[in-house]
């Protein structure tokens, strides 16, 4: 059995992009006094990942090319595969869960709508949430309200680790088994 | 010069109460493996506080009686003082800032509407946010969207400390001076 993992950076008030979709607020505080020895190492994180899933906007921004492993782009557009990049329509959460059942570790890259589909399905096994030391006030929220797309259930978590670098704290959670 | 401090517990998805106003989700994870030696000590925290401000709902729930120091209840109801409890109408943020200018440390107890007024005025000097290891999916958000009451500005913060107890992580922030 593999697992489905989400990593995202959010502001303290829960935004993953500013109101124009920008990310220039994702920055440290200029003071590493609280830095932990343990750091979030994205390269090392990727070593355990077999499949990256991202939304079509992320693909269009060029993020699929960042990976040398399989990438799925969730989209309703029908497109031919581009090497290791595959375009997947329909039930992306169910498809990811099948890969997980086949032993693969699946990384949900984003954006918000894709992450929301996995959240509402309670399909995430592990979360790494980087809390950036800023209140944005407005922007694109990580956690979307209930909608015709579904309701987010109550998901008890267990904090399993944390890493601080320049005021950004990465919180590692897994689904709590009670 | 004193300071204005807010402490609140929120779920990872930013709620300070569930949809019925309940708090039974504010609980540890049953695993203290990550506990820090430094703990958030509410009694010690209060030793430095001169004035507690809360909303009328919190007062009606009986929270004003928890304190042996001055309490202000923000309300449009005109009521006579009850000992150290004073009922304050009008510009509560401005009134709190006057107390701060007079050297007092002011603790914003809640609830959400009161906290929001201080957030939208960028009047908080220090935040202690306890992140509870749970995604609630719905409830009463700490950070309210822009409204006729005002817009929350972008507020750069500095992470100054943290304390973990049974999976609840208290994040200490102060306004960043750039």
Domain B4-19+48-175 part of CATH 3.40.50.300: no
**Percentage of chain B exceeding pLDDT 70:** 99
Q: Are B52 and B71 in contact (CB under 8 A)?
A: yes
Distance from CA of B116 to the nearest CA of A (A): 11
Mean pLDDT score of chain B, rounded to an integer? 94
Rounded CA-CA distance A118/A153 in Å is 11
The reported pLDDT for the residue numbered A110 is 83
- Name the phi and psi angles at B8, rounded to 5: -150, 150
* pLDDT tens-digit profile, chain A (178 residues): 999 999 999 999 999 999 998 999 999 999 999 999 999 999 999 999 999 999 999 999 999 988 999 999 999 989 999 999 999 999 999 999 999 999 999 999 988 889 999 999 999 999 999 999 999 999 999 998 887 778 899 999 999 999 999 999 999 999 998 6
Is 80 exceeded by the pLDDT of residue B149? no
pLDDT digits (tens, 9 = 90+) for B12-66: 999 999 999 899 999 999 999 999 999 999 999 999 999 999 999 999 999 998 8
Q: Are A108 and A5 in contact (CB under 8 A)?
A: yes
The reported pLDDT for the residue numbered A177 is 85
Distance from CA of B62 to the nearest CA of A (A): 28
Q: What is the pTM of this model?
A: 0.95
Better-scored residue on pLDDT, B117 or B147: B117
Strand order in the sheet with B168-175: A134-135, B155-165, B168-175, B126-132, B4-11, B106-110, B51-55, B70-74, B85-88
DSSP structure class, residue A131: E
Residues of A with CB under 8 A from a CB of B: 12-14, 25, 29, 31, 34, 119, 127, 129, 131, 133-138, 142-143, 145-146, 151-162, 164, 167, 169, 171, 173, 176
Kindly state the tokens that stand for B13: 């998805």
Tell if the CB–CB gap between B143 and A176 is shorter than 8 Å.
no
Measured at the CA of A24, the angle between CA A10 and CA A13, to 5 degrees, comes to 25
Rounded CA-CA distance A96/A102 in Å is 10
Spell out which residues of chain A touch residue B143, defining contact as CB-CB under 8 Å.
13-14, 135, 137
The reported pLDDT for the residue numbered B176 is 95
CB atoms within 10 A of CB B14: 23
Three-state DSSP at B134 gives: strand
The set of residues, in sequence order, having a beta carbon less than 8 Å from that of A117 and lying 6+ positions away, is A92, A93, A149, A150
Strand order in the sheet with B134-135: A85-88, A70-74, A51-55, A106-110, A4-11, A126-132, A168-175, A155-165, B134-135
The reported pLDDT for the residue numbered A126 is 98
What's the complex ipTM? 0.94
The reported pLDDT for the residue numbered B95 is 97
Q: What average pLDDT does range B110-121 have in this prediction?
A: 91
Query: How would you classify the pairing of strands B168-175 and B126-132?
Result: antiparallel
- Give the bridge partners for A29, in sequence order: none
Q: What average pLDDT does range B151-164 have in this prediction?
A: 96
CATH number of A4-175: 3.40.430.10
Cα distances (angstroms) measured from residue A65 to each of A46, A68, A79, A83, A108? 14, 8, 16, 10, 15
The reported pLDDT for the residue numbered A112 is 86
Measured at the CA of B165, the angle between CA B161 and CA B169, to 5 degrees, comes to 45
pLDDT digits (tens, 9 = 90+) for A95-125: 999 999 999 999 999 888 899 999 999 999 9
């Amino acid at each position: 059995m593999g697992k489905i993992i989400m990593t995202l950076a959010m502001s303290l008030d829960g935004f993953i992009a500013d109101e124009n979709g920008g990310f220039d607020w994702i920055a440290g505080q200029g003071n590493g006094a609280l830095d932990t020895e343990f750091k979030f190492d994205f390269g090392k994180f990727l070593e355990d990942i077999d499949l990256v899933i991202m939304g079509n906007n992320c693909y269009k921004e060029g993020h699929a090319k960042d990976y040398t492993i399989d990438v799925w782009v969730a989209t309703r557009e029908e497109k031919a595969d581009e090497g290791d990049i595959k375009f997947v329509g329909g039930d992306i959460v169910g498809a990811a869960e099948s890969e997980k059942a086949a032993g693969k570790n699946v990384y949900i890259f984003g954006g918000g709508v894709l992450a929301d589909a996995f959240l509402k399905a309670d399909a995430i096994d592990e979360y790494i949430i980087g809390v950036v030391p800023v209140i944005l006030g407005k922007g694109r929220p990580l956690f979307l309200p209930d909608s015709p797309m579904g309701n987010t259930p109550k998901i008890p978590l267990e904090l399993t680790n944390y890493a601080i670098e320049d005021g950004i704290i990465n919180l590692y959670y897994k689904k709590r088994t009670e």
